[in-house]
Amino acid sequence: MSAVAAPSVEMNVTVPASEEIKKFLAAEDDLPETAGLRVRVVPGGCSGFQYSLNVEEDSKQGDFLVEQHGIKLFVDMFSAQYLNGITIDYVSNMMGSGFTFENPNATGGCGCGTSFSA
């Protein structure tokens, strides 16, 4: 009898993105060791879904925990189906700076880069 693997979520965070996340976490007062960044998919945007990033003190029951480059990412079960395989990057150029999301699950997107359809 083979063991059934628990579902998981694979996410990639680039070094520039992890450095920026560390700055956000350092700017918060009195965060516990358990703190991390919640990465979610929420309804909205011009393509149906948009990404949401929030600093949280701890993960919640049922969350997937992804640790990379010294940071923790919390992903709820609903969002995990849309975020599996995603790459989060941080770019800075003449147009501005911010997080970018390369999502292999997206079937469409829009010009703003923060909204997608699946």
Say which CATH number the domain at 62 has: 2.60.300.12
| Residues above pLDDT 70, as percent of the chain | 84
In a domain, 40, yes or no: yes
Q: Count Cβ neighbours within 10 Å for each residue of 65-91 and write b for 16 or more, e otherwise.
A: ebebeebbbbbbeebbebbbebebbbe
In a domain, 45, yes or no: yes
pLDDT interval class at 48 (50, 70, 90): confident
- CA nearest to 7, candidates 103, 107, 79: 79
User: pTM of the predicted model, to two decimals?
Assistant: 0.82
| Count of the separate structural domains present in the chain | 1
In a domain, 1, yes or no: no
pLDDT digits (tens, 9 = 90+) for 80-117: 998 999 999 999 888 888 998 898 877 766 655 555 55
Tell me what pLDDT residue 110 has.
60
Instruction: Decide: 51 and 44 in contact? Cβ < 8 Å.
Output: no
Helix (H) or strand (E) holding 58: none
Place of tokens 């919390």: 74
